[in-house]
Structure 1
């Protein structure tokens, strides 16, 4: 396998060789200041998880935990320069966030707010959450033709190394990433990352990333068909491969059928950690997992209905996040509060989505879904496990005026699992609410 430095050099040389033959992004650069953009996202967030049937791992007793809530206010800053003019353009980016908690947050622990003492509980069983905190970093970048290389703090959106953006502030990675679009409809990526900071961590390498090398390609065959492949080799953790194919078939006016396939294969190193104690067989030699999902969505005007099937094979379930492989690296269909990633698990979903634009309320969207998982091999249980989730989300985005692009999202999950697949093995019976108010402000 090529190292990240070799891959980066290869795409840069390729760009330099053909930069005079094709129109390029760099040739259209207006300048370092002229193309600069800056924004602040003000986010107010709240998550509450009512654990209705929680099993204490120390005593084995079943207890009810009624308050695992977190609430905070954040400002997420993003400053991006343009590129200097010339064959090679240079620029810089800055990203960061500042936050403060709302309320006591004595039972914080949903990935929202940093905790003192590593989250250790006091005599009352509570944790000590930070009152306020700030994080961030910078990066430098260079561009030749249609190839860009960036080094520094970044928010990633790769299927095998994806930053969690579903909390107050994003997950950060530090490293180098090259993206090349020298061939029409083809995007190549290659990179190397050495630090990983989760959303609720102050330490810039809170997840102790040793060395993660990523590579991949995405190709658009036509307006209907797209396909992609990505790989990840995280030192002393895992090697992961991902494939995707997405096809849209037009059927009639305002009617189409979309088919989406996603698949991962993961091989863990012996030194790898585990995201959850319940995914299954965490101590087995040669842990491996393959997970795939196939979803079909029929769109008819404002309405869409999706049916999806997802399946795990191997000797453990799909495990992600704690191995410094991105806490949002789960690009499969049946992923809500539960990801339905148990050992040997199969799951099926039906989802309905309604866009209220055709009913006179542009910007309002409602999604409802039910997912059922079965055939789970549970640790220390001869009986197969089962889980199910009923998911609802309403989101409204302001379409015009001074508050344009501001959004309010309200989400609820009703999750239940069989007795042998409770919190000691995975999530445990949970009623969850998430409320997020986002107000973006463009600086320049």
Structure 2
């Protein structure tokens, strides 16, 4: 027992010595006002989906303008520093368009069949937060945009998804970042109510560790009350090659265990089992990326196992705006079907090599197969229509970012997805779709 206590004390002393080997963030604070910063992002967004077989003629085009504001104070000086901040957005739709169903524009009531008349013409959302910092540990309470592999805010729509709660991030040991938090409100991008998703409680925890300049590792977990428990792991290795080239290997994976709903149903839609107390999914992926000069080439393989796909979940309270999928085969489709396997090839070119700095083009093709699809989505799901449904997506994106001048950092992004699936998978997922997204972002620094 004495030896154990000595060993514990030695480890604590060693950790303290390591933590003092680099500067404390709080000791370098310049002050509440001096470190403050404020910005506004003016975004014009257009998103349209042309459904083919499942919903022919359905128009889900949305065209809108927003201003996303963030005002963030510095920390007061002293052993413990305090600060405050505000984040929010104010938006309005452009033209007559009032179409919804793509996460862009909120509605007064999503129960009406005619959603056009229910769309908001203009709307505003947001909230405030307080923060405290001691040494290299920061605690933030209030409205936040999260970037965690197990609880991520959807930022791929006009405005971001918000969570309300507390998040603690600690970097006391060089190379190690620890995270823990609890959130009790969740607001999707197209919701007005600050708890529109009716989140009860989501507890998150995790760590990421930079072993050295070549190796990075991470683990995160979440427990969403009465919905699911999810775990995420990642390992990344970058191998330097000759002529400033590099080869990067990446492994990532999730394991999810779903709770059964109070009425005995399931919160996940793609399950192929009637045992709702034992619904689980494991999804993992391996990728390799070769980079040389302006060229970036990636190949990836992704696979699901279990009796359900990697689902974001249906119903309220799941705490996921459809961005918590830090996997390589994720575009319009995330290739997350029950038992699905998928492979991808992606290529990115930087036109800076042709004296057009700021312009990039990314193209990718993903093919998924071996998807289990139930014959009856409302009845006995253990009977399959097929165990070999397929899907495929051809993705292209062009983005230009202004490099200098009065419009520096303004960007225009044009994205297109061509998605097709086999007949048995049409009703169970997206359905054949052509999607366009156009984003014009103009950031303005206030102070």
TM-score by length of 2: 0.90
State the distance in 1 between where 2:47 and 2:271 align.
Answer: 23
Residue pairs, 1:265-414, within 5 angstroms: 265-271=255-261, 277-278=269-270, 281=273, 284-320=276-312, 322=314, 323-380=318-375, 381-383=384-386, 384-414=388-418
State the distance in 1 between where 2:442 and 2:253 align.
Answer: 35
- Per the alignment, residue 142 of structure 2 pairs with 152
State the distance in 2 between where 1:270 and 1:65 align.
Answer: 36
Is 1:42–2:42 an aligned residue pair?
A: yes
CA offset digits 1:407-439 (Å, max 9, x no partner): 0000000000000000x2000000000000000
Could you tell me which runs of 5 or more consecutive residues in structure 2 were left unpaired when the two chains were aligned. Answer: 1-13, 376-383
Is 1:202–2:205 an aligned residue pair?
A: no
- Per the alignment, residue 426 of structure 1 pairs with 429
State the distance in 2 between where 1:149 and 1:263 align.
Answer: 28
- Per the alignment, residue 378 of structure 2 pairs with none
Q: CA deviation at 1:22?
A: 5.5
Q: CA deviation at 1:107?
A: 2.5
Residue pairs, 1:7-406, within 5 angstroms: 23-54=23-54, 63-122=55-114, 126=116, 128-271=118-261, 277-278=269-270, 281=273, 284-320=276-312, 322=314, 323-380=318-375, 381-383=384-386, 384-406=388-410
Conserved? CA contact 1:225–1:245, under 8 Å? yes
C-alpha spacing 1:90/1:169, structure 2 compared with 1 (3 Å): same
Conserved? CA contact 1:160–1:326, under 8 Å? no
Tell me the SS of whatever aligns to 1:219.
Answer: strand
C-alpha spacing 1:176/1:159, structure 2 compared with 1 (3 Å): same
Could you tell me which runs of 5 or more consecutive residues in structure 1 were left unpaired when the two chains were aligned. Answer: 1-13, 55-62
C-alpha spacing 1:199/1:283, structure 2 compared with 1 (3 Å): farther
Tell me the SS of whatever aligns to 1:420.
Answer: helix
CA offset digits 1:161-211 (Å, max 9, x no partner): 000000010000000000000000100000000000000000111111111
CA offset digits 1:369-422 (Å, max 9, x no partner): 000000000011432211000000000000000000000000000000000000
State the distance in 2 between where 1:17 and 1:299 align.
Answer: 38
Conserved? CA contact 1:321–1:328, under 8 Å? no
- Per the alignment, residue 59 of structure 1 pairs with none
State the distance in 2 between where 1:374 and 1:23 align.
Answer: 51
State the distance in 1 between where 2:246 and 2:19 align.
Answer: 38
* Count of residue pairs the alignment pairs up: 420
Moved over 6 A (4+): 14-21, 272-276
Conserved? CA contact 1:19–1:145, under 8 Å? no
C-alpha spacing 1:421/1:127, structure 2 compared with 1 (3 Å): farther
C-alpha spacing 1:37/1:362, structure 2 compared with 1 (3 Å): same
Tell me the SS of whatever aligns to 1:382.
Answer: strand
C-alpha spacing 1:275/1:168, structure 2 compared with 1 (3 Å): farther
Tell me the SS of whatever aligns to 1:169.
Answer: coil
State the distance in 1 between where 2:21 and 2:363 align.
Answer: 49
State the distance in 1 between where 2:212 and 2:322 align.
Answer: 31
State the distance in 1 between where 2:294 and 2:127 align.
Answer: 41
State the distance in 1 between where 2:30 and 2:409 align.
Answer: 27
State the distance in 2 between where 1:166 and 1:281 align.
Answer: 32
State the distance in 1 between where 2:77 and 2:222 align.
Answer: 34
Q: CA deviation at 1:15?
A: 11
TM-score by length of 1: 0.91
- Per the alignment, residue 445 of structure 2 pairs with 442
Tell me the SS of whatever aligns to 1:27.
Answer: helix
Taking only aligned residues, the RMSD between alpha carbons, in angstroms, comes to 2.0
